[in-house]
Every structure is written in C-alpha cells, then in structure tokens.
Structure 1
C-alpha cells in the first residue's frame, strides 16, 4: 500500500520518503536527520539529499511502515516522532492492530500519534474477495476462453473460502494475495493440489521466513508453538499473563533441553505475527494460528488419555465454534483411526432414531402437493455478473444473520443437533479430502456412506416435522397471498400455496444434497463416491452425484447420467424439481455453450428466456402500468 502511495505522491511532484519502523532506532535531532538522509539516498541517490532539504517542508511526505517494529519507547519514541513531524508536512504511518496497547503503558509518548487521523484496514466481504480474485485471474490480460477463466476463478474462490473458514483467517488483502500466490503453477509456493492444512502451514512458514528464521529452526519453533497452543487452551480466555508465558517457556526449555532466551523468543513470535501481547494478555495473533498449533499438539499426543478426553469433549460440542474448529484442525494434522472414529461416533448419534431419506418411496405426501413438477425458467445471463450479485447478497444476509443469530446455548436442542450435524459433515468431508491418499478404499467408502446417511437422517427428521405441519404452513401462505391481493380465487390461492410449500420443502432437500456433495467434492474421491452410489442407487444418492458433477466447470459436457436419472424419476416431482434446480444453479455460475444449454433444458423441460427479451418485456409492462 505504501509503495503505491509513494508512486502516487511522486507523480504529483511531492517528495515521498519511505522508512521502516526498524530503521527508527535513534531519537536525537541529528540522528533523525541521518536516518532521513539515508532513506532519501536509498530512494533517489546520494545527490538528492541537498535538493531534499531545499524542497520545503510542504512537499515532503513520510511513509513510515510497521511503526510497531521500532525499539524506541517512552520519551525517546515521542522525540523521534516529533522531529519527523517537523521535517515532513504529511506522515502516513502503518502499524499492527495491537500497537495502540502501548498507549496504556506510556500514554505521554503518543502525543503526535493522537493528533493524526486513524484508519483501520477492514476485512474483505464476499464481493470484495470475488473482485480481487477476478482481477488476479485476469492479470496480464484475459487470454483464456470464458470457461477456463470461470474455472480458475471458481478454484480460487473455493480455496480462499475454505482457508478463511468462519473467520479463522482474516479476510484482508495481505492474506488473500498470499493465498492466491500459492496457486500459481510452477511457482516455488505451488500448493494448488495440496491439503488444506498445507496452506495454513505455508502462511506460518512465510511469516517466519520474513523474519529471516533459518529452515533448521522451523521444526523447533513449530513444536514450541504447538505446546504453547495446548498451554493456552487450558485457560478460559485463550490468553496468558507474562508470568504464565515465562513459566511455560521455562518448562518447555527444560523438557527439551534447550537454551532459549525468553525475551528473544517472545520478540521473534511477536515480529512474525504469531504470538504477541495485547490488552488482556499474551495470545495468538489470529484464530487459525491457535487452532493450527493446538491441532498439531493433539495429533502428536493421541496416546495420552488426557488428550483423548479433550477431543471427546470437543466432539460432543461441535455446535460450539471453538470445539468444531479444534476438531477440524486436528483432522488437518492426523489421519489416525481414533480421529475419524471419534468424528464418526458423533455423526452416528445424530438423529439416530430416523432412517435416511431416499426420495423414492418416502415423499408421496410432498409430491401430492402439486399435480406436476412446477415449471422452472432459465434466464440467460453472464456467470461473472451472477456471481457478483450472489456475493452482494451474501454480504447483506451475513450481516443480518450476525445481528439476529442467538447464542447456540439458547437454541432448541433440535437446532443444536442440526448445527452439530452440519459441522460434523464438513469436518468428515475435509478429513477425507486431506487424507485421500493415505486412507484405504474400504475406509473411505464407509466414511462417505456414513456421511451421506447421517445427513439424510437429519433431513428426514426436519422434513417429517414440516410435513406434519404442512396444513398450517399452507394456510399461512394462503393468508399472505390473499392479504397481498395476488390471487382472488380461493381454489387457485390454495393451489399456489401448495406449490410454494412444495418449493420450500424442495429448497431444504436441495440444500442438504448440495451440502453433502460439496463436503466430499474432490477429483481424488470421485472413484470412491461412484462405488458408494453404485452400491446404494437410491434417488437421493444419485442426486448427490449429480450435485458433485455440477459443482465444477464443464459439468454439462456429458448429459448421459442426467438423462438416465431424469428418465428414472419422471414420476417423482420433488426429485425432478431438485435436479432442475441443480442444473439451473450450474448454468447460472459456470460458462456453458448455447448447444449445451439447449440440450439440457430440452431434456429436463426447462424453459429458456433471453435476458434482453426479459428486460424489454419488463420495460413494456412498466410503460403500460404508467
């Protein structure tokens, strides 16, 4: 950011000077002058120093990066900034989010800083992330055909969404760009076919390398932080005091026979943005660091009963984000049988009294709500524009959800069980993706089938709950339709209410099917998933397979599976409607040829409307209304 500002100010005839916090190590007038001249010489050459002082204060701009890296404090810190402020008319200073904590220790040293305008670098929402990814994919000019561009953007979006998770990694430009760099094929950081845990490890190693930590020290520091993660996990706030930190350090060095200076180690971890002091104690800088190192420690100590009890406790509370993140990161580190059996045990306890939905002989009541499968319309549009609209909607709904979402402890037990079920599905799916090459085929088959069946047991529970109250639901929708004056005829109003109830139930089933598909969608698991479907050829299993195929660019190249499935479910309105929704979603998000659209829409009886035609019809209707 400061480099961009340097270029911008220079183009406007200002004299910008770049300085790092580490270079600000003296505070006298003469020392500050020398530090500034060294920076001027570095940027413009030795001959530029006299013209710099002659240029006048109003044209000088200081760009001071990482102020928290300076070793100055107290009055020396204040003096240094005061001298700089007298030399430059404008100062742009960057620092870490915990830098202001220094003000509590030495408030008098912050006089100059308190007079400056303060800004915070906000995290990117869904739309901003998408825009950055789209720009990254088009660097150097868009030389790829549309389908290849969409595939690249889709791959990047899925990676970034997976790594960022539910806020465990900050969605800032720095982290975003660091992750995107790992996807460049042939680069030294090419991780595009790696397990998710490798990305977190890369972020950590990258932080250490920036501090010039040698490779020989990486393993020891990672082990130190893993033990520190376990130590911190034993405190309610996940923060420790200075005394606690020193005690841990002493215990670690004694246990491993190491001579490590506490001050040096704590400073290194802080400079690498791994573990630092904030207003309520020492703690890991970002959530992913805490969970990564805690997961590493748990994976390496599975033979102890204390650790196994801790893991079981977490598995029993997967509705709690702290517990679900702990188990998820454990799954990144270990493929041990005890890990997946623990996850599997919890999955099997969810809605254990229900049998999995199959969508063959258990949806007659739902199908009875409509005389035939409701028509669906595909409006031709641009996939990238569609993705932008969806990301905008996600930002709005996520903000509202965070405002309205109650504490999980106050939710009804059925919804707590649902949240836990969905978390278990995600964790088990990620476990399979992480360790596809180490697990035996039979184990992978068992886990995938258990994952599907667990999800569809939960689906049956909620589907039957809604079907039991379907009359109340239909009547409620009828009243809304009548109140809005959308339908005067009572019979037509009832039919419309039944259709909307059918579609509501269909959306719920579709959401479960897509969640299952996305959780295991990986080319490395495709062969095993096919075997599971062949061994259990129920309609809902086959729809999951379609959902997986349609989760990637090019999902409509082979229509034979869709054609066969559509033929087999021709008398099943709910299954047909779900299949059409999956295909519509694919065409909405991925690049498809005109011929592919025509063929699949003809096969599934989906109407096609041209976007331009729809816009003209809308304008005409507005003219008539006026």
Structure 2
C-alpha cells in the first residue's frame, strides 16, 4: 500500500471528507493507506506525528484552496513536501479544491495539478466528476510507484552490483566478500561554476543525490569509479527510481536509447521498458570518456532529469558545445587520506577477525595499527606523497596479498611481495599467459633501467622509446609482436603514452620495482650505481629503489654499504644517552615544561585517534593539493645541515623497512646490529641538537626573537597590553623550553616508528639491555607500547628511579605512557596504578582541584 499524506486547511474539512470517501475504494483494494491529522489520537504529540507521517509518505496530496494558501501551517507543509520531492523523490500531487490564485506559486504551477488541467473540484457541475478525475490521476501515480517498487534485479546483475570484483575471494575468513563489507565512501572534489574545487564527502549523496540531478564524476584508473556507480545505483533504487547501468567497451556506438532499453532488460526482471515512468529512469554511464560521440549521448539523454556520467577527466570531454554540460555538477574522486584508510582497514579486519575482537580490548586497535603501518609503507607514504595511489583497490590488494592463509593468488603472492602481486595481477587480467609473464617482466625490467640510466625521470619521449625498442629487439628474444606487448601494458595501466607523447609508467612504484630488479640482478656491474643511490637517500627515488633492491636480493652487500653510510652520518657526535650528566642543564627548566596528564577513565580513545587522523589527513590533503610544494625535496635542499638531516632520517627509515621486511631471514646478530646503528643515527642527531640548545647564547638569541614577535602581536591586540616585561620573559622562556622538549620527543618517536615492529620486540630489548642508556630504554618501551600494546609498569618505575635517568628523560617516558593511555582502552585499575607509580596527575583529579578552589 502507498502511504498517502493529506495536507489541508481545517476550513476545508467538508471537502476533505468527500475526498476520503472517494479514495475509500483505493484503500479497500490495498492500493493506498491515507493519513491526515484527524488520525492523531488525544494526548499525542501532534506536530511530531504530522512530521513523521509527512517524512514517511510516498505520495503527498496538497489540497489547494484559498484557505490553504492563506494558512502559514499549510504553506510550511507545502515547503516540506517540495523539499522531500527534491531530496527523496516523493510524489507530490496538488489537488485544486476550489478556484484560487494557486498558479502564483511557481513551484506549484510546475507540478501536475489535478483534476485535469488544474480545474478545481468545486468548478465541476457535479463535484463527483471532479473527484473521480483526481482519483484516476492518483491511481496512475500509484500504479507507477507500485511498478517501480516491484522491480526486481536479475541475479547476474545483482551479483555484479553487490560483488567485490577481483577481491571477491580474497578474504581469509569469508568465502564471498561483498561490496558492503569493504566499501568506504571517498571524498570528492566538487567544482563550482568557475571550476574552483572544494572538498565534498560522498556520504552526503545519500541525502543530496537528487539535489544535484545531473552528475559528472571523474577519477583516475583504479580510483573506484565503477564501485561508486554501484553504490549510486543502490541509492537511486532505495529512493524508488530506476537506475540503469551502462558500460560499453565498443565506444558506445549505436543508438543511445536502444542501449538504455537493452541494459534495462538485462538488469531488471521486467518485460518491457515502455511501462516504466521515464521521469524515474536514471542512466548511469560508466567509462563515458571512451564514447566516440559524446555530444550525441548527452543530447539524447537531455530529457532525463537525473543521470550520472563517469569519466577519467572532467575537463577532457570531447564536447564542443559546453552549454550541454553546464547544468551538470562536476566531481572528482580524491585519494584516500588517513581517515578513509583507517575506516577501510577497520572494515577489513572486522570481517576477518570478528571472533577474536573480544579477547583483548585493544586487539582490534593493534591489528589496525599494524596494518596501517604496512599499508603506508607499501604506498610509500612513509617517504612523502607516495609511489602508489591511495585508492581502495591498492589498499585492499595489499591487505589481501598479506593474508597468507588465502592469498589473492597463491602463485603470485608466493613470489614474495604485494608489488609483484599487483603487477602480475594486471597482466593476468589482460589475458597474459603464465609462460609469457617472463617476457613482460623482462621488458619492464630493461625499460626501467634504460630510463634510470638515461636519467629521464620516469618517462621517455617517442624517439627515446624507439631507440630503446631497437636495443631490446636486438638483444632479447621477443616472440610476441611489440605492438601487442605495448598495447597490453597500456590496457592494464602499467605503461602508456601520456598527453605529452612521452612513454612511461602509470604508477611510479612499478618503475622503482623494476629498476631495483635490474640492479639486484646485475649487482656486480652496478656497484657504482648502488654507492651513488645509498649516498643520496635524501632523494625519494633513491630511498624507494633501495628498499626494492632489498626485496629482490638476499645479498649482504647492500646492507653492508648502507651500514657504512649510517655509521658516518653525524659521526662527530656521540649518540645521546639522555642521562643526568648530559641533560642537567635541561632539567633545571623542568618547571617550565608542560606536564603529562592521564586521561579520565571515561575517556574515548577512538575520539583521540580521530583527532590525529584528521590532522594527518589535512597534511596529506595539502600535499595532494599542492604537489609541487616540497620545501626539502631532493636536490633543492637549501643548506648542508638540512640535507644531512634528511639523508640521516631517510637512511634510518630505509634500514627500518629492511629489517621489518626481513625480520625472519636475517640473523639475530645482524638484526641487532642494524637496529643499533639505526638508533645511533637518531641519537647522534639528537646530540647535535642538545649541543646547540646547551649554549646559553642560543637560548638568548631565540628568546629575543620570540619576544620581538610576541611584542608585535601584543601591540596589535589591545587585550594583551597589560603583559609586563617579566611575564613576557617567563612566557617566552616557557615556549622556548617546551619547543626544545618537543624536538627531543619528536626524534625519540621517530626512532620508535622507524625501527619498531611486533617482530622486532626481542631485538629492541636486546639493544636496550646492551646500551643501558635512558634513550635506548625509552625507545624500547615505546616500541613495546605501540606495537605490543604493553606497558611494563614495574620495569619503567624501577628504571626511572635510577640517578642517571635525567628528569627530562623521565618526563619523555611519562609522555609516551600518557599518549598510550589516551589512544587505547585502559581499565580504571590500571589507570590508577599508572597514576600512583608514575605520580602522574589525572584529568579527573585536576578538575576536582579546580572545583575546590
């Protein structure tokens, strides 16, 4: 039954009773169930009841009369009805009761008013004829609504719609993975009329999709365009529209209307397209950019109020008459940031480990943290913007490739890495046979090194490419036509010619992967190249290639040279210990450093994590929106100190990635030595910083600069002019020492995440025991806390009571403990134990003190 809401003026109650009488046969035959405010029972919240029934109606009848148009309450209901029509597709029927100036209201005159031609019911010589005319129109609308509601999707299309495509059988604990198991709404760029973009959360399309009416959505290859099509299809369907999905590899040649009808009959279990209300049909055209006659399609589909066109580039459409797409709202799919990656990883784990989540309150979070680090390392985010787009396909493929119990493809993942898995997967999807895989990979290996050796970035112009192919065909057997090989590499988005007619890689990780493969296979001939790469790890390209070389070879030569380089970084400094003798000057300013405060028992660790994710996402967004803004990038580094600093940090990150990836194949001694050398690089940098701030002249110089700046702010702000010179001095010194503390904390944290891993807990422990310094102890326990979710309270309390443990080091460790408590579920007893052992104030205790004061 269709829910019929009647909006009317009480002054027309007699006419409404007539309407109820005439609509009774529809009610008795199960076609409608009417509702109007006379159905509200005594004592009920009448306005809430009216609003709820209005929101849930399928057909709204506006009983128009002079009384209706004079009533503010009726006009408000009319506005709500029209809003629901725009946002939810609810049918709104104006029924003209008596002659009135209803056409003055433009929004009403645009609707189909009944009786026929908007003639008032009371204007008929026999009112019954007027009511019959109106009822016939309502029956037609009901028939249309019921026809569309009853539409069923055919099984093959329904499987496509709900399927996870290539990832359908990729999950360890679920035989068939559905789209809803892993779908996360992407953020979009929304372009206004002047083509200025702003961010838009596609979740909002659930409630706003009808407002936008005609959409153009763009996205790079593997950005998730088809997946978004599927979700939009379901949104339209839930609003009782008839979406029709179109995808044509044959460039959409042929009659657009015929293609639409054919697609409808393939997707819906219904006999004819003609019986469907055309106003409710929504064409969703995937890969519209390949259409040969784009203008023809847009002209043919102009009559559809709602439609979606999916393209690879909004501004690359072949449309001469731009007025045709002026009314389309234009969106582009953005890469996932930390927020969306976190949601996607969480969904993957919850499917995978549902039975285990209750064992440990932090089990789920530990899994998320572990997988987040692996994903970000694989995407290359650890070194900057990344080498692989942060799209769901890549993230999920990496997760699936890591799932050893049921890998994406056992033959692929047995090769050892998700990058190779993805490359092989591309080739397999294009129908490359197993025995031809070697031909393609060899071609890519030689091509990559050719580009690297020519120092041409990641591209070759056409002449260079022809020179390469001449070289290749003269040195290697190529049993398949070169044109076929190049076409297949283009079809699967491994390589292609770009708009500048340069041949290169679609994604830089493929280039780095094969350059490293070549170098590792010709290691004896590439010693000079390896030395040059390792000496210049401040360049992102070299850092990526080094990590990939370590994947391709088990040779110790690379590690040996990397370790030699690490040992000479900041070599004139001894590693920082953070002992009392070293930091006695810092400890004198303990009272100026902000205190670590434990969260309350009721705190929400998810909220704390979300704050950090939002901060990370904003940073990633700024990098993506300003791709050329890289202040310390590559050879453009402005000072030798900054270059050495970047080189040192990158070297440790590379060392960390290598020992994380090879934690099971390198010997214990080797792992410990690499870990130790990586830690010492960070600690030598820390010593260089400590020596700078130890100089009282440095403090005074920076304090004076800060005072000058704050004075300037005070002069511009009337409220701050009562700040005395002494207060200003105290404020500035507090800022100075807190900044210094933040630098110490930052480098310790960097060391924890660069070298830490759940598989390296024993290594970190052994190095800490060997070094016996507060610095090594803090790093070790930082790794335990983050990777093992374990706070060794007694160990920490005992060690921090040592005289050689500086007050600053104790405070650093307290901050790490508090950070852990904020980000994880800690029960009341454990929080109280931490509070007592470490003498840490708690949020609740501070609040009570403030209240008592």
Please give the TM-score of this superposition, normalised by the length of structure 1.
Answer: 0.84
Give 1:243-254 correspondences, 5 Å limit.
243-254=463-474
In the alignment, which residue of structure 1 is the partner of 2:445? 226
In the alignment, which residue of structure 1 is the partner of 2:779? 544
Give 1:530-609 correspondences, 5 Å limit.
530-552=765-787, 554-556=789-791, 558-568=792-802, 572-609=806-843
Structure 2: distance between partners of 1:115 and 1:313: 55
- How far is the alpha carbon of 1:227 from its aligned partner? 1.9
In the alignment, which residue of structure 1 is the partner of 2:610? 388
Structure 2: distance between partners of 1:437 and 1:2: 43
Residue 544 and residue 420 in structure 1: after superposition, are their counterparts in 2 closer, same or farther (change >3 A)?
same
1:462 paired to 2:689: yes
Deviations 1:405-458, CA, capped at 9 Å, x for gaps: 535424221111111111111001111111222222222222122111111111
Answer yes or no: is the 8 Å Cα contact 2:520–2:553 preserved in 1: yes
1:94 paired to 2:310: yes
Residue 82 and residue 301 in structure 1: after superposition, are their counterparts in 2 closer, same or farther (change >3 A)?
same
Residue 447 and residue 137 in structure 1: after superposition, are their counterparts in 2 closer, same or farther (change >3 A)?
closer
Question: What runs of 5+ residues in structure 2 fail to find an aligned partner?
Answer: 1-227, 715-719
Q: Which deviates further from its counterpart, 450-459 or 529-538?
A: 529-538
In the alignment, which residue of structure 2 is the partner of 1:65? 286
1:354 paired to 2:573: yes
- How far is the alpha carbon of 1:502 from its aligned partner? 3.5
1:323 paired to 2:542: yes
In the alignment, which residue of structure 2 is the partner of 1:298? 519
SS in 2 for 1:119: strand
Answer yes or no: is the 8 Å Cα contact 1:566–1:604 preserved in 2: no
Give 1:507-518 correspondences, 5 Å limit.
507-518=742-753
Residue 392 and residue 26 in structure 1: after superposition, are their counterparts in 2 closer, same or farther (change >3 A)?
closer
Higher helix share: 1
Question: What runs of 5+ residues in structure 1 fail to find an aligned partner?
Answer: none
Residue 118 and residue 342 in structure 1: after superposition, are their counterparts in 2 closer, same or farther (change >3 A)?
farther
Residue 599 and residue 257 in structure 1: after superposition, are their counterparts in 2 closer, same or farther (change >3 A)?
same
Answer yes or no: is the 8 Å Cα contact 1:331–1:430 preserved in 2: no
Give 1:99-110 correspondences, 5 Å limit.
none
Q: Which deviates further from its counterpart, 464-473 or 204-213?
A: 204-213
- How far is the alpha carbon of 1:216 from its aligned partner? 3.8
Answer yes or no: is the 8 Å Cα contact 2:505–2:511 preserved in 1: yes
Answer yes or no: is the 8 Å Cα contact 2:606–2:823 preserved in 1: yes
Residue 94 and residue 289 in structure 1: after superposition, are their counterparts in 2 closer, same or farther (change >3 A)?
farther
- How far is the alpha carbon of 1:519 from its aligned partner? 1.6
Structure 1: distance between partners of 2:252 and 2:707: 76
In the alignment, which residue of structure 1 is the partner of 2:586? 366
Residue 188 and residue 236 in structure 1: after superposition, are their counterparts in 2 closer, same or farther (change >3 A)?
closer
Residue 262 and residue 446 in structure 1: after superposition, are their counterparts in 2 closer, same or farther (change >3 A)?
same
The one of the two structures with greater contact order (alpha-carbon pairs below 8 A, sep at least 6) is: 1
Q: Which deviates further from its counterpart, 255-264 or 456-465?
A: 255-264
Structure 1: distance between partners of 2:813 and 2:415: 30
Answer yes or no: is the 8 Å Cα contact 1:335–1:435 preserved in 2: no
Structure 2: distance between partners of 1:369 and 1:575: 13
Answer yes or no: is the 8 Å Cα contact 2:246–2:283 preserved in 1: yes
Number of aligned residues: 598
- How far is the alpha carbon of 1:572 from its aligned partner? 1.5
SS in 1 for 2:512: helix
Please give the TM-score of this superposition, normalised by the length of structure 2.
Answer: 0.63
Match of 1:342 among 525, 541, 561: 561
- How far is the alpha carbon of 1:608 from its aligned partner? 0.8
In the alignment, which residue of structure 2 is the partner of 1:522? 757
Residue 411 and residue 569 in structure 1: after superposition, are their counterparts in 2 closer, same or farther (change >3 A)?
farther
Answer yes or no: is the 8 Å Cα contact 2:489–2:496 preserved in 1: yes
Answer yes or no: is the 8 Å Cα contact 1:374–1:577 preserved in 2: no
Q: Which deviates further from its counterpart, 113-122 or 290-299?
A: 113-122
1:39 paired to 2:260: no
SS in 2 for 1:120: strand
1:159 paired to 2:374: yes
Structure 2: distance between partners of 1:599 and 1:323: 47
